């Protein structure tokens, strides 16, 4: 039963964009599979489903990619998909992101071990990177340009 339900879940999320657990419950019900939100939540955790940014700009459930993916490339992808704009103000590097994603962008940059970076501070949709000096900030600016 669990295996069959999880197989259906994978089939559903591969066929259409599912943004919420409620939508997923409805899609399962349409296929004649009754489930509770708690069971569905456990399935999502067991299956390691993640939410990813879809082509229409909304988040959707997706199967997690294999762990063999290059960690640095995944971080760069997260950064590219979350950043709206960036700029330099002397030794500060300021990043504007989609709402709620500034922490993800900072985490990606922290993991990249950027030369000259002293630290990061993230709000909801804005991140500040303290760089050692203006030259370090401009180097980062040019590196980020290459990601886009």
Q: Clarify whether residues 49 and 32 are in a common domain.
A: yes
Q: Which domain holds residue 131?
A: 71-147
The CATH number of whichever domain residue 18 belongs to comes to 1.10.10.10
pLDDT in tens, 93-111: 999 999 999 988 888 888 7
Checking if the pLDDT of 68 tops 50, the result is: no
* Alpha-helical runs (H) found in 1-133: 2-15, 21-30, 37-47, 71-82, 102-111
What integer is the mean pLDDT of 19-36? Answer: 94
The CATH number of whichever domain residue 95 belongs to comes to 3.30.1360.40
Q: Is the pTM of this model over 0.95?
A: no
Q: Clarify whether residues 83 and 141 are in a common domain.
A: yes
> Which tokens sit at 137?
């900030």
Q: For the chain, what is the domain count? A: 2
Checking if the pLDDT of 24 tops 90, the result is: yes
């Amino acid at each position: 039963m669990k295996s069959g339900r999880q197989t259906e879940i994978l089939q559903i999320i591969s066929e259409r964009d599912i943004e919420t657990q409620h939508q997923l419950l409805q899609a399962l019900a349409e296929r004649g599979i009754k489930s509770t939100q708690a069971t569905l939540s456990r399935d999502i955790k067991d299956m390691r489903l993640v939410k990813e940014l879809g082509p229409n700009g909304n988040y959707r459930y997706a199967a997690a990619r294999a762990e063999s993916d290059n960690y640095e490339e995944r971080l760069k992808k997260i950064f590219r998909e979350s950043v709206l704009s960036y700029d330099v103000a002397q030794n500060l590097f300021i990043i504007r992101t989609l709402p709620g994603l500034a922490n993800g962008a900072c985490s990606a940059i922290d993991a990249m071990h950027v030369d000259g970076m002293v630290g990061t501070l993230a709000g909801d949709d804005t991140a500040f990177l303290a760089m050692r000096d203006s030259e370090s900030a401009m180097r980062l600016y040019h590196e980020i340009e290459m990601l886009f």
